[in-house]
Amino acid sequence: MRIEEVRRAELERVFWEVSNPKHENYGKHRGIGEITEILAVPQKHIDVVVQHFVAHSATAVVAPNRDMITVTMPAAAVEKALKTTLHYFTHSEHTNALILRASDHYSLPAEVAVYVSMVGELLQFPRWKLKSLTNLKGGGSWFNSCDANGCKGLVQPAVLQERYKLPSTAAANCASSMAVA
């Protein structure tokens, strides 16, 4: 759903306030209801978009923040509703997977498009893990504290604890800190 610029700016302001350790609202994160109020997507906008897709055999689910609508519909109906053409694509490494995406631009009627920011998962392709990373096997022969077979030979917290001679209570010590980049 398209979010009005003033509402988007308000969300940005709130985000930076709760994220800035020097601000009085630092750490005062908002709940779903509060975020929904900030976004303030009008029901009329949602109704127009939902009705367009329902008229094309879709089922529609509105997200809790009312900023997104997920539709499920037959491929032929997608082509009609969005005035596009769908094709199956394959991945060069994951050849068993078929990916259904638009092979051309899509469009919506002007009275619907005014309320839509974008149609997701229509032009974008999923990010696949490289096959070289999917069956990762560790080469180490050290102690394995993880019960899963996939952990064998990989560096885990218990390996680091043993190698660096860290006490087992280090994680519970509030004076400890760790930075991850």
**Considering the domain boundaries, does residue 177 fall inside one?**
no
If asked whether residues 1 and 48 sit together in one domain, one would say: no
Q: How many domains, the chain?
A: 3
If asked whether residues 13 and 85 sit together in one domain, one would say: no
If asked whether residues 120 and 46 sit together in one domain, one would say: yes
**Considering the domain boundaries, does residue 112 fall inside one?**
yes
* AA identity, residue 116: V
If asked whether residues 60 and 47 sit together in one domain, one would say: yes
Residues 6+ apart with CB under 8 A from 103: 84, 85, 86, 87
| pLDDT score, position 100 | 93
Q: Which residues of the chain have pLDDT under 70?
A: 131-137, 149, 169-181
If asked whether residues 118 and 150 sit together in one domain, one would say: no
**Phi, psi angle pair for 38, to nearest 5°:** -65, -45
Separation between Cα atoms, residue 70 and residue 179, nearest integer Å: 37
**Tens digits of per-residue pLDDT, 1-19?**
999 999 999 999 999 999 9
If asked whether residues 19 and 50 sit together in one domain, one would say: no
SS3 content of the chain, % helix, strand, coil (to 5): 35, 10, 55
**Considering the domain boundaries, does residue 180 fall inside one?**
no
Token code pair at residue 134: 């999917």
Domain span at residue 148 reads: 136-171
**Tens digits of per-residue pLDDT, 39-71?**
999 999 999 999 999 999 999 999 999 999 999
If asked whether residues 46 and 103 sit together in one domain, one would say: yes
